[in-house]
Amino acid sequence: MQTEKKSALEALEKEVSLCRGCSLCQTRTQTVFGRGNAEASLLLIGEAPGESEDREGKPFVGAAGMLLDHYLAFIGLEEEDYYIANILKCRPPHHRDPKPEEEEACMPFLRSQVRILNPKIIICLGRIAAQRIISPDFRITRSHGEWFRRGGIRVMATFHPSALLRDPSKKEAALDDFKKIAEEFSALQNETANI
Ligand code: SF4
């Protein structure tokens, strides 16, 4: 069914696909807007598309995406339970971090996505998303798994799945974070069911 949110997201995605707001438009194969359920109450936010995402046009579809899917499935979440997007909609070349001016140029699109999706829970995947959404001095090793509130939305950061692939010793801590996400998600479902 084509809902109001889905239509609004499609219109925004079309706008993003034409964007030339920063120099990444010159090196991208295509823009990477988002995937998942527009009606979901959980929004996951990463930093930027990688090589597989740039090729396929969807976020989190490479090895890191498969690991993320594994964690989400472990806590009982399916794709219909969440929506996933990135701060940047175009791939920074050579796996480099997004530049501040690229984030500034692209953030209005993410803000529009958040307005349309109206999530109740946001999970920042990695330092870059956490520093943009939670606090500029956010340190992922110190504050991952802690809950914050931003504009009435429950917000947490956990490790980016690429970081877990690079350093498997963080996987146990990440799993604890995902268990907290499951608890919060389930509490939210119960709240909604009792309305
Ligand atoms: S990264 Fe964002 S601002 Fe830059 S060209 Fe792509 S869509 Fe536009």
pTM: 0.95
Q: What is the predicted pLDDT for the residue at 195?
A: 67
How many angstroms is it from 184 CA to the middle of ligand 1?
32
Q: What is the predicted pLDDT for the residue at 191?
A: 81
- In this structure, which residue's CA is closest to atom 2 in ligand 1? 106
Q: What structural domains and CATH numbers belong to the chain?
A: 4-193 (3.40.470.10)
- In this structure, which residue's CA is closest to atom 6 in ligand 1? 90
User: DSSP secondary structure string, 59-82?
Assistant: SS-SHHHHHHHHHHHHTT--GGGE
By most ligand atoms within 8 Å of CB, the mutation choice from 12, 24, 27 for ligand 1 is 24
How many angstroms is it from 28 CA to the middle of ligand 1?
9
Torsions phi, psi of 89, nearest 5?
-100, -5
How many angstroms is it from 24 CA to the middle of ligand 1?
6
Euclidean distance between CA atoms 20 and 112, whole angstroms: 17
Euclidean distance between CA atoms 145 and 168, whole angstroms: 17
Q: What is the predicted pLDDT for the residue at 116?
A: 97
Which atom of ligand 1 is closest in space to residue 48's alpha carbon? Answer: 1
Render the burial of 12-42: b for 16+ CB within 10 Å, e for the rest.
bbeebeebebbebeeebebbbbbbbbbebbb
Residues in the chain predicted with pLDDT less than 70, given as ranges, are: 1, 195
Q: What is the predicted pLDDT for the residue at 1?
A: 65
Q: What is the predicted pLDDT for the residue at 118?
A: 97
How many angstroms is it from 76 CA to the middle of ligand 1?
33
Q: Which of 65, 35, 33, 43 is nearest to 52 (CA)?
A: 65
How many angstroms is it from 74 CA to the middle of ligand 1?
33
